[in-house]
Every structure is written in C-alpha cells, then in structure tokens.
Amino acid sequence: MQAIRPAGVENLLGEEELIVSKTDLKGRITYANDVFLRMAKYSWKELMGAPHSLIRHPDMPRAVFKLLWDTLQAKQEIFAYVVNLAKDGSHYWVFAHVTPTFDERGNIVGYHSNRRKPDPKQVERIKPIYKTLCEEEARHANAKEGMHASFEAMVGLLKQQGVGYDEFVLSL
C-alpha cells in the first residue's frame, strides 16, 4: 500500500456530527459509521478489518497513542485531541472519547470510539505541543525510542503543570 502524503487541506466535522468506530483487541476496525467513512474517504470494504492506524496523520505524536493504549489496557476511558489523515491526503481534527468494551466477565473484548468536532481554539493550543512531541520523536533513529522519549517529555510537561492527563486535556 502506498503511503498517503498530507495535502494540507482540512475537512471539518459538522457541529452535531459524531464519528463512531469499534475495533477488536488488535485495533482492527470492526465497525465504522457513515460519518467516519465520509471524513476518512474510505469505503466500508477498505476499512473493515484494517488497522485503525490507517488514518494516522504523521503530525500525530506516537506518545499520545502510547498513552491511549496504556489507558485502555488499564480498563479506563480516555479523551484526546487527534488529527487524522484521510485517504485523499486531507486531514481532520477530532476530540475523541475512547473506551474499552467489556464482556459479561469484565474482560476487554474490543474498543469503542466517539469523535466530535473540537473547539478550534483547543486545537490551536494542542498543535504546538504535538509539534514538540513529534520533533522529539524525530530526534531518535529508532521509532520506539522516539516514542518513549516523547512520552517522557509529555509526562514531564504534565508534571510541570501539576496536572494529570485528563485534567490537562479537558482544560484546553
């Protein structure tokens, strides 16, 4: 599959629209609503079974996804600002609420995500932070080392501000 290059064109979610998706334990898409299909510009057939990372924008720090997966695996919900990359190279920002899905015994069987249009002022506040985290990731030859260094930088920022991640995200 050929890599998609960002085109610098932003698409906006409608004020009342929600993107909904579900994934299995490996992050492969098992459900996507029509808004997701329209915004990501993929067909249902292209998305079903594909890794959710298919829409990962290169300006999205890997450290945020590490935090997301760590939080979900701890059976907790998480909120995050995310920039996604559509099939045509356009991008769209979302405010995501991701939760684990449990079976009747309390085991995680998948993940559910609702995304809505973020406040543009909040996006403008998060962009320089994400840029700094991506720059930290790029300083390392090994992607995994870069992700860990960026994660530590993010943890340091939160400690410096004296807040936890959830408080930070909801305060933007």
Listing DSSP states for 13-29 in one string gives --TT-EEEEEE-TTSBE
Angle between helices 120-138 and 143-161 (to 10 degrees): 130
Instruction: State the burial class of residue 67 (Cβ atoms within 10 Å of its Cβ: 0-12, 13-18, 19+).
Output: middle
Mean pLDDT of the chain: 95
Give me the residues paired with residue 31 across strands.
Answer: 22
Higher pLDDT residue, 126 or 172?
Answer: 126
What percentage of the chain carries pLDDT values higher than 70?
99
> What's the rounded mean pLDDT across residues 56-77?
96
pLDDT tens digits, 110-158: 999 999 999 999 999 999 999 999 999 999 999 999 999 999 999 999 9
Distance CA(52)–CA(77), nearest Å, equals 17
pLDDT, residue 2, reads 60
pLDDT, residue 166, reads 87
